[in-house]
Amino acid sequence: MYDDSNVGKFIVFKITDYLLALPISDVLKVVNCPSVDNKGLTTMGVVQLGQHMIKVLDLHLPQLGAGDLTELMGHQSFLVITRDRQGELCGILVDEPPNLLELPLEMMQSLPTSNHHSQPLFEMVSHVAVVSQGEVKTTIFLLDTKRLSNTAINDSYPLSLKPSRGI
C-alpha cells in the first residue's frame, strides 16, 4: 500500500477535539508540566525548566496565546518542548501524554492557504493526514513550528503597570 522507506515519525497529541502532530525531529523533549512555584512567571506564560525559560503555548484557549497558566497547570499536564521560528524554546501544553506515530509521508496533504484562517488553531497547521483503521477515520493536523511564534503568542495586550502601595 505505502512505501515503508518513506515513513515519518510524529509526536501526536490531542488539543480540544483535534489531534495535532509535530515531526519527531522538531520535538526536543516531552516533560511533565512543572509545578507552579513561581506565579509571576506563569502569569506571563513562561515556566522554568532547569536553567531554561520556556514560553508555554496553550492551544486550548480561544486567543491561542501565552497567558496566565496558573489555573491550567494545576492539574496533571505535559509540555511538548520544541523551538519556534526564532529558535526560542517553547512548550505546547497538552493534557495527556502524547503518542509516537509513524505515518507514510504520502498521506500528508498540504492544506490550502484559504483554510488557514477559518479558525486560529489552523493558522499553525500546514498539512493534514487522514488515517483509516477499518471503518474509523482519524484526522491528524501537522503543526508548523515556523508558524507557532506568529500566531500562538499574543503580544497585543498593552502592558499595564500599577503603582505600588505602602512602600
C-alpha triplet 70, 151, 69: angle, nearest 5°:
0
What per-residue confidence (pLDDT) applies to 118?
A: 57
What per-residue confidence (pLDDT) applies to 159?
A: 36
Rounded Cα gap, residues 123 and 95, in angstroms: 21
What per-residue confidence (pLDDT) applies to 33?
A: 81
What per-residue confidence (pLDDT) applies to 48?
A: 82
Name beta bridge partners: 91. Answer: 56, 81
pLDDT in tens, the chain (167 residues): 556 678 999 999 998 889 999 999 999 999 988 765 545 455 567 888 889 888 888 887 555 444 445 455 556 689 999 998 888 899 998 989 999 999 999 989 988 766 545 566 777 888 999 998 889 999 999 998 887 755 444 443 333 334 444 44
Rounded Cα gap, residues 146 and 123, in angstroms: 11
**Where are the chain's structural domains?**
4-152
Handedness of CA 116, 44, 79, 70 (dihedral sign): negative
What per-residue confidence (pLDDT) applies to 11?
A: 97
Rounded Cα gap, residues 53 and 42, in angstroms: 11
Main-chain dihedrals φ then ψ at residue 121, nearest 5 degrees: -60, -35
